[in-house]
């Protein structure tokens, strides 16, 4: 894979925006997402040995990736050599067909779609961590940080972060499994090992436990309401029961249906191994 920056860029060979912003930024993102040693992700000079090309699985996925987006993400997942060459000004008489902002977005979108960890898993885990930590912190009562008081209103958003984060993490597994099944990503032994222990039945059990905890907590809130003759409630204390209850029920429901969906996505893989 060529590296125009290492070989030298002649005056007028590359637009200023591409040279100092677009290419360095996209290359830096690609190096992080795919742990690829490339220094010029947008370079069009690429060469493949026959054995390497065969390992790419020459299917319609590979052809489509090359035609649409240049295959930056897919190529970055394999080991390859890099070479430097000089970049010369365009000698053609027509204007360049590349559009920096549009094509830059297409490349960025492509790289994230091929990296479910960075697109879904890490943001989802961060949301879950923040939501869970904030919820536990506020469960005993209002908390003050300097002149700011955090109360049940913040708990609502903490529960929302936990629910949304869980859903985003689920998308990471959905995307990863679908991409592997369709041949867009190579098999992941860690995923196979995980599914040997986390089966549909395990997911259903975890979901029903979460729902049971939520329903039981909701029942305790109803008892508090009954103690007042079903009249006015103390929202400060009641919401500290209702919010975790609703969050637990939502998480349990998501776990159950996510487990079913993962099992559906895994059906082609099971038939392949049989």
Task: Provide CB contacts within 8 A for 162, sequence distance 6+.
Answer: 127, 128, 131, 132, 135, 247, 251
pLDDT digits (tens, 9 = 90+) for 42-83: 777 777 777 777 776 544 444 334 434 444 444 444 444 555
pTM: 0.73
> Which residues are bridge partners to 83 per DSSP?
2
**Tokens 């209850």 sit at which residue?**
245
Q: How confident is the model at residue 31 (pLDDT cuts 50, 70, 90)?
A: confident
**How is the chain split into domains, by residue range?**
2-113, 116-273
Per-residue pLDDT of 125-140, as tens digits, reads: 999 999 999 999 999 9
Q: What's the CA gap between 168 and 131, in Å, rounded?
A: 13
Q: Is 144 helix (H, G, I), strand (E, B) or coil?
A: strand
Say how many C-beta atoms besides its own lie within 10 A of residue 196's C-beta.
8
Inter-residue long-range contacts of 27-30, CB under 8 Å, 24+ positions, other chains counted: 29/108, 29/111, 30/72, 30/73, 30/76, 30/111
In the chain, what are the helix, strand and coil shares in percent, each to the nearest 5? 70, 5, 30
Tell me which of 35-49, 137-151, 154-168 is least confident. 35-49
Residues sharing a CB contact under 8 Å with residue 235, sequence separation 6 or more, in sequence order:
152
Q: In which band, very low, low, confident or very high, does the pLDDT at 144 lie, cut at 50, 70 and 90? A: very high
Distances 110 to 45, 69, 77, 236 between C-alpha atoms, Å: 19, 7, 14, 47
């Amino acid at each position: 894979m060529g590296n125009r920056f290492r070989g030298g860029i002649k005056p007028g060979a590359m637009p200023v925006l591409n040279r100092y912003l677009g290419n360095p930024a996209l290359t830096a993102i690609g190096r992080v997402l795919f742990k690829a040693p490339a220094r010029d992700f947008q370079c069009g000079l690429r060469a493949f040995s026959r054995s390497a090309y065969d390992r790419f699985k020459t299917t319609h996925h590979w052809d489509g990736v090359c035609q649409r987006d240049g295959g930056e993400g897919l190529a970055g997942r394999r080991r390859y050599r890099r070479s430097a060459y000089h970049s010369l000004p365009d000698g053609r008489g027509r204007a360049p067909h590349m559009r920096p902002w549009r094509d830059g977005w297409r490349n960025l979108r492509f790289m994230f779609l091929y990296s479910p960890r960075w697109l879904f898993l890490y943001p989802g885990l961060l949301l879950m961590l923040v939501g869970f930590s904030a919820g536990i912190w506020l469960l005993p009562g209002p908390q003050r940080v300097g002149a700011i008081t955090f109360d049940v209103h913040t708990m609502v958003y903490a529960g929302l972060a936990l629910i949304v984060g869980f859903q985003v993490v689920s998308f990471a597994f959905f995307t990863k499994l679908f991409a592997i099944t369709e041949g867009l990503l190579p098999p992941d032994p860690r995923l196979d090992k995980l599914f040997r222990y986390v089966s549909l039945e395990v997911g259903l059990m975890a979901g029903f436990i979460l729902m049971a905890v939520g329903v039981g907590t909701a029942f305790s809130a109803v008892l508090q309401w009954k103690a007042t003759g079903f009249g006015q409630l103390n929202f400060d204390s009641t919401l500290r029961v209702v919010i975790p209850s609703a969050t637990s029920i939502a998480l349990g429901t998501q776990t159950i249906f996510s487990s079913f969906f993962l099992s559906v996505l895994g059906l082609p893989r099971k038939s392949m191994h049989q």
